[in-house]
Amino acid sequence: MGQVPDHELAKLRSLQGYDQMLEMDRVCRTYGVDEPALKILLTSSAAPSSTPEQKDSTGWDTSHKDRPVAAVAQQPTMIDKDRLRYEYDPSRAAAARREQVSQAILCSACGVALGIPDVRPIKVTCPSCLTETTYTS
């Protein structure tokens, strides 16, 4: 019986269902291992090094929710509000949201410009990197 390399075992752990079954068949033929022995190797060896994609009950990827929430920022990096350019959206709801924007800041994680109202404290979720930051001043 041959030895199965760790990279093959890691690849098998990352797959599910039919894809995993096909890959297990290939590995068994390539390395001369029978399927029960390969399953024992998969369960007995170390846990996968990468975190699997997390899905909620509806099937959506929720792995972004594990990102750490940024600490409370005391002073946001302010920029000139007139430098902001809005995406074209002719709806009344979009016009109402644009009227609420009174300040422009830079995301503390990725540097994207964000338009926000002057309400404090305010919790801002960056649409680009999904980092949440609470501003108190």
The span from the CA of 70 to the CA of 73, in Å, is: 8
Same domain, 82 and 131: yes
Same domain, 36 and 85: no
The span from the CA of 77 to the CA of 50, in Å, is: 34
- Name which of 70, 72, 59 is nearest 137 in CA terms: 72
Give the number of domains in the chain: 2
Helices within the chain (DSSP H only) = 6-14, 17-31, 35-44, 92-100
Question: pLDDT value at position 36?
Answer: 86
DSSP of 77-132: EEE-GGG--PPP--SHHHHHHHHH--EEEE-TTT--EEEE-S-SSEEEE-TTT--E
Cβ(85)–Cβ(113) under 8 Å? no
**pLDDT 10s per residue in the chain (137 long)?**
558 888 888 888 888 888 888 998 999 998 888 888 888 888 876 554 444 555 556 666 666 555 555 444 457 788 888 877 777 888 999 888 888 888 989 888 888 888 899 888 889 898 888 888 888 87
121 found inside a domain? yes
Question: pLDDT value at position 73?
Answer: 45
59 found inside a domain? no
The domain containing residue 40 runs over which residues? 1-50
Question: pLDDT value at position 48?
Answer: 47
Same domain, 45 and 81: no
Same domain, 46 and 90: no
56 found inside a domain? no
60 found inside a domain? no
Same domain, 42 and 3: yes
61 found inside a domain? no
71 found inside a domain? no
100 found inside a domain? yes
- Name which of 106, 132, 108, 110 is nearest 121 in CA terms: 132
Same domain, 46 and 1: yes
Question: pLDDT value at position 133?
Answer: 87
63 found inside a domain? no
Question: pLDDT value at position 53?
Answer: 54
